[in-house]
Amino acid sequence: MSILTRIASERARQVSATLAKQTSINAPGMINLASGTPDFPTPPHIR
Amino acid sequence: MNAPASARADGKTVYTAWAGLPALREAIAEQLLRDKGVSFDPAHEIIVTAGAQAAMLTVTLALFDPGDEVLVPTPFYDEYRRDIMLADATMVPVPTLLEDNFEINPDVLEQAITPRTRAMILISPSNPTGATMGRSTLERIAAMAQRHDLLVIWDELYDRFVYDGFEHLSLAALPGMRERTVVINGFSKCYSMTGWRVGYVAAPREISDALLPIAHGMTICAPSVSQYAALAAITGPHDWFAAILSEYDRRRQLWMQALDSMGLPYGRPRVRTILCPTSAVPALPRSSSPGHYAKRAT
């Protein structure tokens, strides 16, 4: 059996099964309920 | 020129100390002492990580062995499940209830303890439920942790998003808890700098010594320019945050009014705008509810 027939480890498969796909990221004017990014701007002195 | 731009211009784009910039660790230690009343040595007991997420995985990989059981109140932040899984440890869910505002019941927590229990992971204020823990609950959990000789992973990433006059307390500050508590926090939420990826772990030296090789194995150090940004954040002005908190409180009130008007049950959050209707809502099929939890992540 080729090594290419089973790429992901059992551990990676188990973790993958619990992880929802990233569906979107924040965009201007949109509050993304799933991203976890605050919708206030990073303060200027930090940027 | 702001801090990260200055860092880039000055060529501070190379590895830092594995545990993070000394100045940043000192600032974190000062903040922990000032705001939480808990003292950690910045030289040996604070590790800056590539976000709190990396801190979480560092902790589970460094502290848990296969077969170790880890108590996690539910609903829980899903990444902890994966982190425990990656450590080949076993997550033991401990239910919290809507009618209790999803606050942890120490008695229920204690009933889940077995001889294989090594730690509990507590997120306060909670993601995703918004639940908080008052002093009496914390004292009971602290006594239980000491009675059963357990570690506590104490995630307080949302510690500044509290409302209704609630005072966030750190479990690590309670008598007898500093030596068995691993504090996880970060800069993403309070400073809106999720993309910079800076978090930290604060823990007694014996624990920190175990964490550092794992943290090193993942990223060697947190990104250097990001650490300078975090340093600017933690040492800079904080008065701007009051307006942010006020706006989030306004949204929280709107969410609660809307849910009240629909007759939907929810746990009244005392932190950021997180709400958590249950799957028992008859007019709101799970497929149409936003991921089961009506969660406004900040």
Is B282 within a domain? yes
Q: Token pair for residue B91?
A: 């997550």
According to the model, what pLDDT value does residue A23 have? 66
Tell me what ipTM this predicted complex has.
Answer: 0.82
Residues facing B121 on adjacent strands: B153
The predicted structure's pLDDT at residue A4 = 74
pLDDT in tens, chain B (298 residues): 788 889 889 999 999 999 999 999 999 999 999 999 999 999 999 999 999 999 999 999 999 999 999 999 999 999 999 999 999 999 999 999 988 889 999 999 999 999 999 999 999 999 888 888 999 999 999 999 999 999 999 999 999 998 888 889 999 999 999 999 999 999 999 999 999 999 999 999 999 999 999 999 999 999 999 999 999 999 999 999 999 999 989 988 998 899 899 998 888 766 654 555 554 443 333 333 333 334 443 4
Residue B171 lies in domain: 3-239+276-296
Instruction: Decide if A43 and B86 are in contact by the 8 Å CB cutoff.
Output: no
Report the CATH number at residue B50. Answer: 3.40.640.10
- C-alpha distance from A7 to closest chain B C-alpha (Å): 18
How far CA B60 is from CA of B2, B57, B69, B106, B165, in Å, comes to: 35, 5, 11, 22, 33
Domain presence at residue B35: yes
Closest CB to B81: pick one of A18, A43, A45. Answer: A18
Task: Using CA coordinates, name the residue in chain A closest to B3.
Answer: A46
Residue B256 lies in a domain: no
Ordered DSSP codes for chain A: --GGG--S-HHHHHHHHH-PPP-----TT---TTT---SSPPPTTT-
Chain B residues within 8 A (CB-CB) of chain A? 2-4, 78, 81-82, 85-86, 188-189, 191-195, 229, 232-233, 236-237, 240, 244, 247, 290-291, 295-298
Residue B190 CB neighbour total at 10 angstroms: 21
Q: Does residue A34 belong to the interface with chain B, where contact is any CB pair within 8 Å?
A: yes
**B290 lies in a domain?**
yes
Instruction: Give the closest-approach CA distance of B15 to chain A in angstroms.
Output: 20
Q: Is there a domain that residue B206 lies in?
A: yes
Residue B269 lies in a domain: no
Domain count along chain B:
1
* Whole-number Å distance between alpha carbons of A37 and A30: 11
- Domain assignment present for residue B257? The answer is no
pLDDT of residue B296: 41
Whether B261 is covered by a domain: the verdict is no
Of residues A15, A35, A43, nearest to B297 (C-beta): A35
Task: Count chain A–chain B contacts defined by CB atoms under 8 A.
Answer: 71
Question: 């808990």: which residue's tokens?
Answer: B38
Asked if A46 is an interface residue toward chain B (Cβ–Cβ < 8 A), one would say: yes
